[in-house]
Amino acid sequence: MSTPARRRLMRDFKRLQEDPPTGVSGAPTDNNIMIWNAVIFGPHDTPFEDGTFKLTIEFTEEYPNKPPAVRFVSHMFHPNVYADGGICLDILQNRWSPTYDVSAILTSIQSLLSDPNPNSPANSMAAQLYKENRREYEKRVKACVEQSFID
């Protein structure tokens, strides 16, 4: 059955294949266009470098009027990522615009890895270390990077 959300997701997928942004990839799962798997590669010159972080993206029929639910499957240590992998990012909540597509979502999360916002913490420990003990923060992040090879 074709609905506006499904039609739009086919378009998003086509665009992601034809014009793939650097360092991110994503595709619908085999049987369900409403659930996607994605990978974000840790940005260069950040402690996340070399990591391959897996995510799931779940859309509802209200997409693109409402944002999808995006969640890291890989274990993350980041000020704006909850323990369950949920992400605290304005464009996935109150600043969502129907003009964003999957490509824009993934690149925004990628830049969140480079530029955490410790003032709106989802992981208070990560936020505190990011602000007060950058070395320990980077050590914890690097552990996630190594973990991401195994996952």
Evaluate the CA torsion angle 35, 74, 85, 95 in order and state its sign.
Answer: negative
Q: Which part of the chain contacts another protein (CB under 8 A), choosing from 31-39, 44-52, 80-88, 136-144? A: 80-88
> Does residue 4 touch another protein according to CB under 8 A?
yes
Site for another protein in 18-57 (CB under 8 A): none
**Order of strands, edge to edge, in the sheet holding 69-72?**
24-28, 35-41, 52-58, 69-72
From the candidates 35, 88, 91, 104, give the one annotated as an active-site residue: 88
Query: In DSSP terms, which residues pair with 41 in a beta bridge?
Result: 52
Beta strand 69-72 with 24-28: parallel, antiparallel or unpaired?
A: unpaired
Concerning whether 88 is annotated as a catalytic residue, the answer is yes
> Does residue 97 touch another protein according to CB under 8 A?
yes
- What are the tokens at 69? 């639910």
Among 31, 94, 119, 150, binds another protein (CB under 8 A): 94
Residues found near another protein in the complex (CB under 8 A): 3-4, 8, 11, 15, 62, 64-66, 69, 82-84, 86, 88, 93-101, 104, 121-124
